[in-house]
Amino acid sequence: MANEIYSKSWWGSGVCFNTVGWGLVYKPYAQCGAVPALLLALETRATYYENETCTIATLDEIEAIAYTAPPAPTGLLADYTGASAAYSLRNLISTTTNVIRVRRSNDQAEQDFTAAEITDGTLTTWTGANDGFVTTWYDQSGNSNNAAQATAASQARLVLSGVIELENGKPAAKFTGDGYDLTPFNANSSGSYSYVVGAKSVISSVIYCGFGGIQYVLALWSNNIYYLQPQSSGYYGSNATDTTTAQMLLTGVYNGTNGEIFKNSSLVPSSFVASSLGIGVQYFGQYAGQRSYGNIQEAVFWNTDQLANRSGIETNVNTEYTIY
């Protein structure tokens, strides 16, 4: 037809594929995109070498296939978004792949494992009758704030003599107090934050965690007091002691003005003390010689106030671990 640039012709591949001068002149006007161009090439080939009608019909079907979006992510981090860091031995979001990296005690080899591979025998097949220690606990928040510990003597244990460490029937990283700690990210925050931890202590100390820079702490101290330190100038301490060694879900929330501590979804009465705990650099599992004694299964951090979501978050964790 007049005034039309043909994308193919009877004299060759057409303007989209022609390397001769006359073809190149018209190429900018022929709308030769990558996918249409590939389809056109097959269509042109079919004109001369194959059954044109059937081939073109097939190509038309391919071209008409609609894009199907992948399913939306599911899990704790999909339901309660914006976490700064999230460590667990389960998938906290459906898009998670590897959750940990483990060192094998007999030859010091290391390998990544998914949550499913921790429980389906893949991990213990790899370790054999040896121990397995966590060298990296991968951040599932998408922020790449992985908790890593390169020192063998300071790594939490996940496998003992070929058997997975368990707490209430679910995998748990064992912190033994003599250096098993993972050093996480430095994420400064000047406002609200929230913190949820699933753990069990064998003596008083459960967990010490914090964001470097500003000294954020959630802990059951060796003096049997719960502490929430949302700022370097003060902290909240429980009004009563607790000598429990039972599995617990510990939650701390701070809205920029007030802080609250919850154990197993119940408020722990506490008072604010306008004095620093004297804590310097923060670690996941210990600080300045004060170390966790027991098992940690999960720890999630938000740099925002999650008080409105607290019940839902705790229900999600408790449904997985049956803590209370």
Round to whole Å and give the CA distance between 66 and 56: 18
Q: E strand or H helix at 86, and its extent?
A: strand 83-88
What DSSP character marks residue 27?
G
Tokens of 263: 């154990």
Domain-wise residue ranges, the chain: 21-64, 76-321
Encode the chain (324 residues) as per-residue pLDDT tens digits: 445 444 444 444 556 556 555 555 556 556 555 556 566 666 666 666 556 676 777 677 777 777 778 889 999 999 999 988 888 999 999 999 999 999 999 999 999 999 999 999 999 999 999 999 999 999 999 988 888 888 898 888 999 999 999 999 999 998 875 544 555 555 545 567 777 777 766 554 455 555 444 556 777 777 888 888 876 678 899 999 988 888 889 898 988 888 999 999 999 999 999 887 655 545 666 555 556 677 889 888 888 889 999 999 999 999 999 999
- Among 190, 229, 221, smallest CA distance to 205 is for 221
Non-local (6+) Cβ contacts of 4 within 8 A are none
Round to whole Å and give the CA distance between 64 and 41: 17
Round to whole Å and give the CA distance between 142 and 82: 9
**CATH fold group of domain 76-321:** Jelly Rolls (2.60.120)
Q: Would you list the DSSP string of 172-217?
A: -EEEESSS--BB------SS-EEEEEEEEESSS----B--TTTT-E
Round to whole Å and give the CA distance between 259 and 257: 7
